[in-house]
Structure 1
């Protein structure tokens, strides 16, 4: 029990820090920090953390949390970052004026990994599905979707970004990435720990609606 508490405490501490920590300042990203904060303000972080605490005794949840803190998970993140298609997708966005390297650096730093180098290689279920469904139910999707639609109309950087990521050229890169055997193997490993990529799809669709055509919905 003590081990479970310690593992969950670490995970919650990281989650809590992510909810209040600002991304590193860059000359191209000041607007994005403000956009992220606008969405975070709509989320009841304490409620989500309370849901997580309720799952402290769930074996599958704790197994997944331990996996997220393990060297194996770091290896998965590293393998994704060095994947040719991933780097191509990153490079495509960067050329269009959207450099999200700062976000990857933030993730790597949280996992004690080296900085991202783009130029170099209601409880009726248990486990992950249960905690995910309860957290999804706690998120203000209507308000978040309305905020997104408003920003799509008023924010040049957001409207342009979604035009780019929904373009045939960019989607073809992502489709090739989804067909990469290494990426498929990574998805299979995560599935063994109870995580389904449908979760990411549901979250993104809930906010971005028809403007999201990610590989996780394929």
Structure 2
């Protein structure tokens, strides 16, 4: 059953740990590529991204005219592998300090975004250190979770204590309805591509309500 998403809930989803409100969605088609995994896993990842883009009614592409691929996912066993990857520091100038911070924090994942002149997402780099926790996840669950967390600029604390996914009775991972509704509302053409004022959360909550009302109307 769908639940109403309040302005307070939306506000928390896009309020960062430092108290600033920052929202952004993709401003161009998503062109994904993955490194460090077999082709079968790449297919699962692209399938997950395609499913989330379809939900958002956002386009995917084979290539990005500016960057080639604009959604890059790196699977590593140790963070040092990133530092040792040839020319990656050209693409990500802050790579050295970033790897140091990830090691110090004993992190197993990190997402780095780039933005266009309008504030929309133009690139996303996802780094996954396949520790015991991530390795235990089924590939489709891991990939769906990363696709969801990369389709918007969520708060750095948005899913720190609660996953955006839920398990069905058959132990299949699905996107939580409330999170799905926020994604759909975020990509509504009437909504801005980026926002840094918390009043945006009021509009988002209103769009979620409108989508739910339309869904209920369609069902009758």
TM-score normalised by L of structure 2: 0.24
Q: Return the structure number with greater helix share.
A: 1
Higher relative contact order (CA 8 A, sep 6+): 2
